[in-house]
Amino acid sequence: MATELTPGIAPSVKRPNRVKIVLEMIKFEHSVFALPFALTGALLGARATHHGWPTLLQLTWVVVAMVAARSAAMTVNRIVDLRYDRENPRTKQRALATGLLSVPFAWTFTLISVAIFFLAAWQLNLLALKLAPLALAILFFYSFTKRFSTWSHLFLGFALGISPAAAWIAITGTFDPRTLILCAAVTLWVGGFDVLYACQDIDYDRSAGLFSIPQRFGVANALIIARIMHVGVVALLLWLAASFGLPWPAWLGIAVVAALLAYEHSLVKADNLSKLDAAFFAMNGYISMSFLLFWGAAVALWHV
């Protein structure tokens, strides 16, 4: 039976939500992965150097800087990888690949994000502003590493791993070498779960000539390498807690992170990757938020 229309009124056409499409392009929800580690760096910095706490304004600009920098980096990644996104069955429905968003729009969005990032760095302190170009260079460089390096996962890890040191600098205007321990822990954490995630693209990576640990070593060996990386995360966090002399919540938090990492790896088998999304999205979100919760409590109880 035909649908009756009121004369002179055209049927409504549901338009795609541009904001939703952009947020999907930059995987905005993944900001939860690195942001808690950055906030932990900010808390440690304020307590260790000023024996106080970051102001709400400082934390706001830290969050703005991180989200803006990550948004710019993710968009550049989508532009640079557009050819591969169109070819890969897993990614061919992404916004740029399907034409829902144009490349000129993506570049405009990138420039706006970069401008917001520099504004946030300027609002924080002079050292943060001076180092802002270096941070962006590191973030943008990752997009090219899968073309020449099996270990591109660690480049991604390092791109996110600099966030605790960046937040420390943003709050204090100074640098402490001990933050590099946390940077290394985040690098291995992100690198490890990116190895897991890359297992689903092994066939395409081989056909396209892209590099990854699963592509070179196979899925079974890649899972072992990811586990070794995550054991390294726990070891580095133990070292960090000891170097700052943090109280018991930090140590309990490390135990929780270790348990969650172990459970994450139990979900992924070489012959069964069906639970990979659960391991990647849910578990890593729980890990980062648990870390912030326990280490935030440790910083609150910390007698500096």
Residue 28 tokens read as 């905005």
Look at residue 95 and tell me if it is in a domain.
Answer: yes
Average pLDDT over residues 132-137: 96
Q: Using the structure block, give the residue that is written with the tokens 């400082």.
A: 58
Average pLDDT over residues 247-255: 97
**How far apart, in whole angstroms, are the C-alpha atoms of residue 188 and residue 236?**
10
pLDDT, position 21: 84
Residue 215 tokens read as 């592509």
Look at residue 16 and tell me if it is in a domain.
Answer: no
pLDDT, position 50: 85
Q: Could you read off the pLDDT of 156-212 as tens digits, one per residue?
A: 999 999 999 999 999 999 999 999 999 999 999 999 999 998 999 999 999 999 999
Alpha carbon distance, N-terminus to C-terminus of the chain: 76
Structural domain range at position 116: 25-301
Given a cut of 70, is residue 4 above it in pLDDT? no
Given a cut of 90, is residue 12 above it in pLDDT? no
pLDDT, position 164: 95
pLDDT, position 279: 64
**Region for residue 188 given its phi and psi (left: phi exceeds 0; alpha: psi -120 to 50; beta: otherwise):** alpha
Least Cα distance to 237 among 269, 213, 260 occurs for 260
CA 37 to chain centre: 10
Least Cα distance to 164 among 48, 28, 253 occurs for 48
SS3 state at 52: coil
pLDDT, position 267: 87
**How far apart, in whole angstroms, are the C-alpha atoms of residue 15 and residue 25?**
17
Given a cut of 90, is residue 18 above it in pLDDT? no
Q: Provide the sign of the torsion angle of the four alpha carbons 187, 189, 192, 198, taken in this order.
A: negative
Of the pLDDT bands very low, low, confident and very high (cuts 50, 70, 90), residue 24 is confident
Look at residue 9 and tell me if it is in a domain.
Answer: no
8 A C-beta contact, residue 107 and residue 38: no
pLDDT, position 16: 62
6/165: higher pLDDT: 165
pLDDT, position 13: 45
Residue 35 maps to which CATH number?
Answer: 1.10.357.140
Look at residue 165 and tell me if it is in a domain.
Answer: yes
Look at residue 2 and tell me if it is in a domain.
Answer: no
Look at residue 239 and tell me if it is in a domain.
Answer: yes
pLDDT, position 14: 52
Q: How many separate domains does the chain show?
A: 1
**How far apart, in whole angstroms, are the C-alpha atoms of residue 229 and residue 287?**
15
Q: Could you read off the pLDDT of 252-280 as tens digits, one per residue?
A: 999 999 999 999 999 888 888 888 776 66
